[in-house]
Amino acid sequence: MSAKFQSVRGMRDVLPDEVATWQHVEQVVRDVLSAYAYKEVRLPVVEVAELFTHAIGDATDVVSKEMYTFADRSGEQLSLRPEGTAGCVRAVIQNGLVHRGGPGHKLWYQGPMFRYEKPQRGRYRCFNQIGAEVYGFPGPGVDAELVCLCARIWRLLGLEGIRLEVNTLATRDTRDTYRAVLLDYFQANADQLDADSQVRLEKNVLRILDSKNPEMRDLIEQAPALIDYLDTESEQHFGQFCELLDTAGVAYTVNPRLVRGLDYYSRTVFEFITESLGAQGTICGGGRYDYLVEQQGGPPTPAVGFSMGLERIVELVSLKTPVSGVQPHVYVVARGEVAVSAAFGLCERLRDELPWLRIEQNAGGGSFKAQFKRADRSGASFAMVIGEGEVQQQLVSLKSLRTDDEQAQVAMDALSKELNTLRAQSRL
């Protein structure tokens, strides 16, 4: 029970039973990204620590208390990436992919992210995201495209009851103006703020709007809304974004209090939320970050992206439609030294001749009875029996494990043909 070594807190193993669902989800997401002509990039898991503090904002929770940061042997401060956008922006600048319409303008990535948080359902210290980022396009079309792309993924995965919330954070200037107004408002009502929001007052006023504390609901609803302070440019951008969603038939609600926790967002932000996963209901979040590329040392380049949490999506999928794993077509039962060795050679030959064939050899010996038991449990359609008699006559016995068909004998030379036939008849 008490193993000597355990996985690190908040980091879990995905076991074979779950992997089938993971692969299914990943395949659907990849296919949809391809359908929208996004190209995959593979990025390092480790970056210079400053990349994240600079991009995400050192007052954010993610940077100030959730990063895995360490000095490497040269003393350089490195971090395990807590999210994907900062590294992608770095790669895009470093490799000169920022030019509009160039090869790097629509990208996606997949991989583990790390945050030192207290684990709970749907929240892990090592978790996997698939994200997409678009560079070089200021218009709302790409914002809407990303949202539609996600909505398509949920449809293809058969997920229902996923709510889309959208908002706009306007331009940097507008937001600065608004922040000052909001600060005045909450400072004037500071006595009504709960402890968390007192802290937010110092760090990031906008986050007060996000509070779940029902006692503060009135105060928040009375607060000035950013939407009333929008500059015309942002207002148009957001309006067109919403219109495109309408055109595409993607349902959404505007949530003026949707703020998001990373500093780099501007204009469009969105979240897909489910009620089926407990407190960690956001399965995908994203938005526009028009200033980040320039802030990180690249040419001024508007950008927008999202990332989705695979653990949460996989859990959602498996609650609804469990995906069964891959089972062998044939399980090879062999007994006796001569037969086992003949079976080994035969299996390799069949894999040469029939690349589609999934064939499992019995391992660990055992009686025919025991081997048949394993054959049954493997889920294989057929048991292929090779004993001394079969070897002498250069044939195998094929027994269907899922039907009452009579056991048949097939010459070893004719096996490939027979298996092809069975496949054509959908009996494998």
Interface residue list for RNA (CB under 7 A): 1-2, 6-7, 9-10, 12, 60-62, 66, 83, 115, 117-124, 127, 129, 196, 200, 207, 210-213, 260-262, 278-285, 307-309, 311-312, 335, 366-370, 372-377, 383, 385, 387-390, 397, 399-402, 407
Rounded Cα gap, residues 65 and 77, in angstroms: 15
CB of 6 to RNA, least distance (A): 6
Distances, alpha carbon 278 to alpha carbons 1, 22, 119, 123, 321, in Å: 29, 20, 13, 11, 19
Closest to 52 (Cα-Cα) out of 64, 34, 43, 40? 64
Rounded Cα gap, residues 140 and 266, in angstroms: 12
CB of 232 to RNA, least distance (A): 28
Residue 236 or 394 with smaller CB distance to RNA: 394
Question: DSSP letter at 189?
Answer: T
Residue 77 or 407 with smaller CB distance to RNA: 407
Closest to 95 (Cα-Cα) out of 84, 107, 83, 81? 107
Residue 200 or 237 with smaller CB distance to RNA: 200
Rounded Cα gap, residues 224 and 104, in angstroms: 40
CB of 9 to RNA, least distance (A): 4
Give me the half-sphere count of Cα atoms (radius 13 Å) on the Cβ side of residue 85. 28
Residue 188 or 279 with smaller CB distance to RNA: 279
Question: DSSP letter at 405?
Answer: P
Give one word for 64, left, alpha or beta, with left for phi > 0 and alpha for psi -120 to 50. Answer: alpha
CB of 277 to RNA, least distance (A): 8
Residue 218 or 243 with smaller CB distance to RNA: 218
Reading the block at residue 422, the tokens are 């069975």
Residue pair 378/361 in contact (Cβ under 8 Å)? The answer is no
CB of 234 to RNA, least distance (A): 21
Residue 9 or 351 with smaller CB distance to RNA: 9
Residue 25 or 375 with smaller CB distance to RNA: 375
CB of 381 to RNA, least distance (A): 9
CB of 303 to RNA, least distance (A): 15
Sign of the Cα pseudo-torsion (375, 381, 387, 389, in order)? positive
The continuous run of DSSP H or E covering 77 comes out as strand 77-80
Distance from chain centroid for Cα 315:
11
CB of 102 to RNA, least distance (A): 26
Residue 60 or 174 with smaller CB distance to RNA: 60
